[in-house]
Structure 1
Amino acid sequence: MEKVAEILAEVSAEVVEPRFRALADGEVMEKAPGDLVTIADREAEVIISRRLRELLPVPVVGEEAVAADPSLARALVEEPAVWLVDPVDGTSNFVAGRPDFAVMASLVRAGQAVAAWIWQPMSQTAYSAELGAGAWRDGHRLVRRPTDDAPEKWRGTLKSRYLDPAEHHRMLTSARVFGQVSGGLRSAGMEYPLIAEGEQEFILYWRTLPWDHAPGSLLITESGGVSARLSGSPYRPDPPGGEDGLLVAADPAVWEHTREILLGR
């Protein structure tokens, strides 16, 4: 666990952080309309992938590699073990000079995340989780305090960019019962820890790319929370294009009540 955390922090210091607010012309590209990638994303993924394979020689499913060859993501369902890598989670923030970005990795065995790491470079904060062993921030175990029963005191995030407009409007209307609802930080690696740390009670995601959600989902479940599809099935890091919708919450009661409020069921 410690070695992977060291890899993420070292690669971040080597190729990501020096380019923060210092990207040169030609170092920011579009890999799809509205979807940015930088030289830092690509270089960091190559180095992290190589070093992870030195620890455990299994396939690496990296965000930028899959952008170039989508078939690589099939390893998540075809291989017994896979590394997942998100070299810069929150690239749009990174490009804009906003500090809300992270470097993430997870280890998936038999289709389930069994270990996860999130490095937040601007605060030099490390989160990790291991299936059945707990969740940690900088070596201190994370255990959420009990949540208040009143939804009007809950804080949450609705990631509604990919929702149907009518459904988006209906959910926003339903969400008025909550104390505070935001649109998020544009980085899963910054958002998931807010629940584990007790700063928010829920997040609703719609599109769920595996490199974005495997690390945070394990962090949440190992700190006592829930990360599950809207059907109620536990989150699993499937290849892109699978089931949409993911509700993450501080505990099972919050998850059930939030789903009832947002979805009417």
Structure 2
Amino acid sequence: MPLDTVLGAMLTQAAGEIASFRSRGQHPATGLHRRLQDLTTRTLEEAWPDLPVITATHHLSSCRALPGDCVLLNPLDGITAFAAGSPHFAITACRIRRGFPVQGIVELPAHHVRVSVEGAARTVTGDVDRLPRFGEDTVLTTPADADRARQILAGRPVEVVPTASVMMTLVALGRARAAAHLPTGHDIATPWDYVSAALAVHTSGGTVRAPDGRDLAHSRPDVHAGWLATNQPPRPAELAPLMHPPGRPTERQA
């Protein structure tokens, strides 16, 4: 059963609750996060009662301890951005089967856009023109990585989008050509951040790769020092220095 079938009605309800939360000026966003997590988890468990739902709040000793068959859920990716009033937040879920991602969904409530992926097929709901569009030479990155990216790219335009899944989805939908999370030690990329959106990038003909070259749409979910998402053009090789900044060791191949 596709994730869109399982979660579609619930995601529409969640978008309404998010809009209501914001219109009332409620705080903190952690309360909304818990509400969305409970709502999404309950919906998934009703559809797939034997399938574990794993969220970023689970304290796993390692991502290698993830069940081979499960759903990875991030009920409010970009909670800091959301709390600051940014539209760059998402609800994401990914079906893992035999250790690998096979279905994904990224809901962008502020833009009323949903991207669903099953295998090589992708469905987009909503008006993509609601999303921001960036120039072909522009690279998206996080606030913490922006200055370093500008140094490495020597004058190439760099724009900040604070949430990983949103950056990747913009690449997947052709609203940006490249996005990167630099392996500079500011933060790590966990599967809840990237796995659903990486599937979406793959359906566009693009790739999302870790510093060691792993394709994140076709790898077992794991923690990575960074990632580079590209559509064509530009060629990934043009942006390779972002994944190997001077003085930074190459991530070890698993």
Task: Give the direction of change, closer, same or farther, for the CA distance of 1:112–1:139 in structure 2 (3 Å limit).
Answer: farther
Deviation at 1:119, TM superposition (A): 1.2
Flag as ranges the 4+ runs of structure 1 deviating above 6 A.
none
2:100 to 112, 115, 130: 112
Q: Which residue identity is paired with 2:123? A: W
Aligned partner of 2:249 in structure 1 is none
Task: Give the direction of change, closer, same or farther, for the CA distance of 1:215–1:176 in structure 2 (3 Å limit).
Answer: same
Task: Give the direction of change, closer, same or farther, for the CA distance of 1:113–1:139 in structure 2 (3 Å limit).
Answer: farther
Residues 4 and 52 of structure 1 are in contact (CA less than 8 Å); yes or no, is this contact kept in structure 2? Answer: yes
Task: Give the direction of change, closer, same or farther, for the CA distance of 1:115–1:259 in structure 2 (3 Å limit).
Answer: same
- Summarize deviations over 1:129-151 as a string: whole Å, max 9, x none: 122x22221189xxxxxxxxxxx
TM-score norm. by structure 2 comes to 0.78
- Give the helix-richer structure, 1 or 2: 1
Residues 207 and 231 of structure 2 are in contact (CA less than 8 Å); yes or no, is this contact kept in structure 1? Answer: yes
Aligned partner of 2:130 in structure 1 is none
Deviation at 1:255, TM superposition (A): 1.4
Aligned partner of 2:144 in structure 1 is 161
2:40 to 27, 48, 69: 48
Percent identity over the alignment? 19
Task: Give the direction of change, closer, same or farther, for the CA distance of 1:237–1:23 in structure 2 (3 Å limit).
Answer: farther
Q: Distance in 2 between matches of 1:104 and 1:94?
A: 15
Deviation at 1:264, TM superposition (A): 7.2
List alignment gaps of at least 5 residues for structure 2.
Answer: 128-134, 183-187, 247-254
- Summarize deviations over 1:185-228 as a string: whole Å, max 9, x none: x2233222211222211111142121110111000011110011
Equivalence map 1:172-251=2 (5 Å) = 172-178=150-156, 180-184=157-161, 186-206=162-182, 207-235=188-216, 236=219, 238-239=221-222, 242-251=223-232
Deviation at 1:123, TM superposition (A): 2.3
List alignment gaps of at least 5 residues for structure 1.
Answer: 29-36, 141-151
Aligned partner of 1:34 in structure 2 is none
TM-score norm. by structure 1 comes to 0.75
Q: What's the secondary structure of 1:182's corresponding residue? A: strand
Q: What's the secondary structure of 2:111's corresponding residue? A: coil
Aligned Cα RMSD in Å? 3.0
Residues 226 and 252 of structure 1 are in contact (CA less than 8 Å); yes or no, is this contact kept in structure 2? Answer: no
Q: What's the secondary structure of 2:32's corresponding residue? A: helix
Residues 73 and 92 of structure 2 are in contact (CA less than 8 Å); yes or no, is this contact kept in structure 1? Answer: yes
Q: What's the secondary structure of 1:71's corresponding residue? A: coil
Aligned partner of 2:91 in structure 1 is 103
